[in-house]
Amino acid sequence: MIIFYYETIAIQVQLPQELIALYPSENRDESRLLVVNRKNGELQHKIFKDITEYFNPNDVLVFNNTKVFPARLYGNKEKTGAEIEVFLLRELNREQRLWDVLVDPARKIRIGNKLYFGEDDLLVAEVIDNTTSRGRTLRFLFDGTYDEFKKTLYSLGETLCQSSSTGRLNQRTARDTRPFLQSMKVQLRPLQPACISAGSY
Tell whether the model's pLDDT for residue 164 goes beyond 60: no
Phi and psi for 3 in degrees, rounded to 5?
Answer: -120, 125
Q: What is the pTM of this model?
A: 0.57
* Tens-place pLDDT, residues 3-42: 555 566 666 777 787 777 777 778 888 888 999 988 898 9
pLDDT of 169? 47
Exposure string (b/e) for 47-81, b if CB count within 10 Å is 16 or more?
eeeeeeebeeeeeeeeeeeeeeebbbbbbebeeee
Q: Which residue has the higher pLDDT, 130 or 160?
A: 130
What length is written for the chain?
201
